[in-house]
């Protein structure tokens, strides 16, 4: 609301009431009100001898939306959460064009005819006295005693409260003519400046598309604030700095707002700085205009990362709205490492190379047709490592996997029985080691695996058949001779 004093002087008394009545409209906030108690009032105008020489100004700072009723300076029952620690400066406006503003005289009221916050602050024709600073208490209330006069009230600090923007400056007179009454003046004036508080963003992380390395999808929701009459969105961005164990997937980020048709590059920008590992989504002036009138909706930033390390990996995102930085509650994705050691069952110091394994996220013997998460072969040291493996999100830090041996080392018996293992994410170096043994065959020389074994069996079989056939022919020939 425009803080202005205006009147059309028809007589001293009429002009005085008109100017003073305009100040009932000069309080900045519009609120839903219901009379609670009468402020200190007097039928005596300030220009009459014996009128009070001072009054009070009480500011009650609340969060919430404005509504249609106008604050008239009386004490009110106003809905909203009290905001503690908000500081205001109350500055006396002492002169206009070199003439003292004395509200105990009609001429003093005439000097402030048509005054607005803009003209008082910027025209250079007004002089100020020393500002008084007051801060709201736990009830959101700040009260100060003031001599009669014109005052410029400004919110100078929101304290620890995150608000869209400070309440616009407003002018108030002590006393204030009570609008709608006849000859009633308020010497104890109440104002209820309201702010819209900002809401912290939230963040979630998905189940990975693959339990080995991911990717995982991250979603940040930053609520778009409701704007009061004097509010505007001047800046709005979301930032997310990634842990060194997360690798951003290029061009995976999207920014959406329900109810707004946004174009990348025109309404917002997306940028990933590989040096600082920071992803930033920022609305442009065009985008701010499109979202300013929206309520009960979020700006939603979604992006994907692969996982390159193990441990409990935290992530926090931030929104910055009109210079206020708000953060999400940290979320975690947890990853571990599984190492297989393949050894001879009779001699654990004998490491077995060439064993092949498949790793499953569910028990393959349960009848499910699940595909393996990963496959691999033991190296010269008999070792095979799967890393990083997903162990859960948030408080879930371990997950069950199943190992299936699909090929044994040459000269050993394959054991296809699924082996249940637990992968745990504790620290960046936590590794689960599973020792798996193989036995040699009980029948010496019996080939077990590989093409060479197959051909050997075929050769032995063919030889046995030939020997049997030769023996039969010789026996038949002898019978003929006899």
pLDDT at residue 369, as a whole number: 64
For residues 4-27, give the mean pLDDT.
Answer: 41
Q: Half-sphere exposure (CA, 13 Å, Cβ side) for 102?
A: 9
Residues paired with 399 in a beta bridge:
423
pLDDT at residue 248, as a whole number: 98
What residue segments make up the domains of the chain, in order of their start? 12-195, 202-329, 334-438
Class of domain 202-329 as given by CATH: mainly beta
Residues 6+ apart with CB under 8 A from 454: 447
pLDDT at residue 20, as a whole number: 53
pLDDT at residue 1, as a whole number: 35
C-alpha 329/C-alpha 22 separation (Å) is 48
pLDDT at residue 457 is higher than 70: no
Which of 478 and 387 is assigned the larger pLDDT?
387
Min mean pLDDT across 239-248, 274-283, 448-457 is at 448-457
pLDDT at residue 178, as a whole number: 76
pLDDT at residue 12, as a whole number: 38
In three-state secondary structure terms, 19 is helix
pLDDT at residue 216, as a whole number: 98
* H runs (alpha helix) in 388-450: none
pLDDT at residue 471, as a whole number: 62
Q: Do domains 12-195 and 202-329 have the same CATH topology?
A: yes
C-alpha 122/C-alpha 397 separation (Å) is 61
Rg (CA), the chain: 41
pLDDT at residue 7 is higher than 50: no
Q: Encode pLDDT of 331-348 as tens digits.
A: 999 999 999 999 998 898
pLDDT at residue 476 is higher than 70: no
Confidence of residue 328 (pLDDT cuts 50, 70, 90): very high
Q: Which structure tokens are listed for 469?
A: 């056939």
What is the longest distance spanned by two Cα atoms in the chain?
164
pTM of the model: 0.77
Q: Encode pLDDT of 388-419 as tens digits.
A: 999 999 999 999 999 999 999 999 999 999 99
Which of 436 and 163 is assigned the larger pLDDT?
163
pLDDT at residue 228, as a whole number: 82
**CATH of segment(s) 12-195:** 2.60.40.10
DSSP string, 63-106: ES---SPBP-SSEE---SEE-TT-EEEEEEEEEETTEE--TTSH
pLDDT at residue 336, as a whole number: 95
pLDDT at residue 90 is higher than 90: yes
Min mean pLDDT across 9-18, 103-112, 312-321 is at 9-18
Rounded percentage of the chain residues whose pLDDT exceeds 70: 79
Confidence of residue 28 (pLDDT cuts 50, 70, 90): very low
For residues 308-327, give the mean pLDDT.
Answer: 96
pLDDT at residue 114, as a whole number: 87
pLDDT at residue 206 is higher than 70: yes
- The CATH T-level fold of domain 334-438 is Immunoglobulin-like (2.60.40)
C-alpha 348/C-alpha 364 separation (Å) is 28
pLDDT at residue 223, as a whole number: 97
pLDDT at residue 25, as a whole number: 43
pLDDT at residue 68, as a whole number: 55
For the chain, give the mean pLDDT.
84
Is residue 147 within 8 Å of 40, Cβ to Cβ? no
pLDDT at residue 179, as a whole number: 62
């Amino acid at each position: 609301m425009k803080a202005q004093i205006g009147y059309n002087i028809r007589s001293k008394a009429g002009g005085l009431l008109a100017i003073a009545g305009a100040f009932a409209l000069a309080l900045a906030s519009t609120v839903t009100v219901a009379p609670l108690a009468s402020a200190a009032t007097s039928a005596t105008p300030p220009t009459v001898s014996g009128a009070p020489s001072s009054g009070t100004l009480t500011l009650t700072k609340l969060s919430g939306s404005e509504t249609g009723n106008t604050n008239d300076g009386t004490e009110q029952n106003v809905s909203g959460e009290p905001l503690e620690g908000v500081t205001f400066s109350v500055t006396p406006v002492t002169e206009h064009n070199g003439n003292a503003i004395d509200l105990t005289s009609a001429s003093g009221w005439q000097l402030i005819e048509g005054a607005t916050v803009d003209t008082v602050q910027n025209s250079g024709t007004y002089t100020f006295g020393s500002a008084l600073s007051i801060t709201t208490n736990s009830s959101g209330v700040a009260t100060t005693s003031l001599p009669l006069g014109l005052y410029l009230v400004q919110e100078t600090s929101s304290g620890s409260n995150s608000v869209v923007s400070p309440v616009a400056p407003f002018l108030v007179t002590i006393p204030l003519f009570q609008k709608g009454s006849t000859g009633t003046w308020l010497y104890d004036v109440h104002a209820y400046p309201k702010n819209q508080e900002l809401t912290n963003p939230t963040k979630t992380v998905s189940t990975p598309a693959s339990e080995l390395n991911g990717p995982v999808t991250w979603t940040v929701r930053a609520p778009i604030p409701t704007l009061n009459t004097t509010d505007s969105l001047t800046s709005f961005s979301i930032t997310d700095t990634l842990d060194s164990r997360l690798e951003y997937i290029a061009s995976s980020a999207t920014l959406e707002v329900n109810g707004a048709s946004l174009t990348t590059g025109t309404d917002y920008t997306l940028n990933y700085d590989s040096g600082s590992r920071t992803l930033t989504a920022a609305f442009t002036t065009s985008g701010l205009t499109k979202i300013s009138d929206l309520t009960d909706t979020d700006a939603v930033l979604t992006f994907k990362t692969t996982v390159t390390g193990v441990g409990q990996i935290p992530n926090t995102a931030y929104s910055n709205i009109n210079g206020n930085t708000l953060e999400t509650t940290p979320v975690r994705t947890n990853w571990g490492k599984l190492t297989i050691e393949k050894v001879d069952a009779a001699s654990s110091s004998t490491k077995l190379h060439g064993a092949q394994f498949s790793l499953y996220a569910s028990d393959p013997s349960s009848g499910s047709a699940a595909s393996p998460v990963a496959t691999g072969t033991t190296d010269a040291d008999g070792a095979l490592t799967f890393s990083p493996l997903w162990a859960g999100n948030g408080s879930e830090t371990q997950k069950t996997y199943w190992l299936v041996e699909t090929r044994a080392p040459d000269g050993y018996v394959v054991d296809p029985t699924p082996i249940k293992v637990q992968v745990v994410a504790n620290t960046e170096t936590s590794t689960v080691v599973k020792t798996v043994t193989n036995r040699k065959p009980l029948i010496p020389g019996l080939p077990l695996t590989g093409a060479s074994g197959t051909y050997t069996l075929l050769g032995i079989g063919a030889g046995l058949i030939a020997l049997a056939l030769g023996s039969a022919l010789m026996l038949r020939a002898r019978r003929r001779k006899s």
